[in-house]
Amino acid sequence: MKENSWYQAAVPLDHPLDRYYRIPGFLGSAEIDGRQMLYFEKSDATARLLKGLDLALISEGDWEERWRDYFQPTPFAGFTVVPPWLKRQGDLIINPGRGFGTGRHETTLLVAETLRDLLSDRSLKSLLDVGTGSGILAIAAKKMRPDLAVTAIDNDPDAVENAAENLARNGLAGSVRLSLTPLSRFRRPYDIVVANIISGTLIELSSELRKKTLSYLLLSGILLTERDDLLPRLDTAGFRLLSSGVRGEWISLLFQRWHGKR
């Protein structure tokens, strides 16, 4: 993998974050040493949008060292997520990547908790994870239901590489289908489709997400303040909103197909 660099910005914990989540190139955030750390792709356009913040440039090695200090065992929908260097302290191993998901973010927790409830229904046999990142949701689903057929896709080769590494670390190499294939090129539908990505992308993909879903469509990555504007812009024809979860500033939306409509 090529050596990369990213921007890091530190803001107070009570600093409003909504606008940063919407900036193209936003990778993720973490609470470290009493401050909120924000991570962004390095580009001139991103730097202009972050004018006024004190930006630090960090490299691949810096990122890994910072995560070693920060990433500790984390409860996650019945599992304990740990990094490889603490693998004996947990049962779901995730090697942190650049914003690919470690189970600490509210949206990831919302989805995992909803999946745990859904997968108690043994009639649900297949799942598609769109924008899999680190693969944490696909891994959790496979651990919850070893008989479940799981496919995980992402448009970032680095994310797919990170997900493949994490599957191997959890003894699941080859048991989840990983792919860079765009969602629109998938032909078969899945009992459950999960997409934990930013709201603008959810709107763009909603028609394809709907077409690929047989029973349940689970969406997250949505700010609570975006809910009322987002719902009418999603293509959810043939679905009803079954439930909504809330954690902090974030929500998840669970839709169910009704009357067998496609």
List per-block mean pLDDT (blocks of 10 residues) for the chain, which spans 262 residues.
Answer: 69 79 74 74 86 79 62 90 89 76 84 97 97 94 97 90 91 94 94 94 95 97 92 95 93 88 50
* pLDDT for the residue 28: 67
Between CA 118 and CA 184 the distance in angstroms is 25
- What is the end-to-end Cα distance of the chain in Å, rounded? 41
User: Under 8 Å CB-to-CB from 193, ≥6 apart: which residues?
Assistant: 127, 128, 130, 209, 212, 213, 216, 217, 218
User: Under 8 Å CB-to-CB from 82, ≥6 apart: which residues?
Assistant: 73, 74, 89, 90, 92, 93, 94
Between CA 126 and CA 161 the distance in angstroms is 22
User: Under 8 Å CB-to-CB from 103, ≥6 apart: which residues?
Assistant: 74, 76, 81, 92, 94, 109, 112, 136
* pLDDT for the residue 60: 60
* pLDDT for the residue 1: 39
Please give the model's pTM, rounded to 2 decimal places: 0.78
Q: Which domains does the chain have, with CATH numbers?
A: 5-70 (3.30.70), 106-257 (3.40.50.150)
* pLDDT for the residue 2: 45
* pLDDT for the residue 154: 93
Decide: helix, strand or coil at residue 111: helix
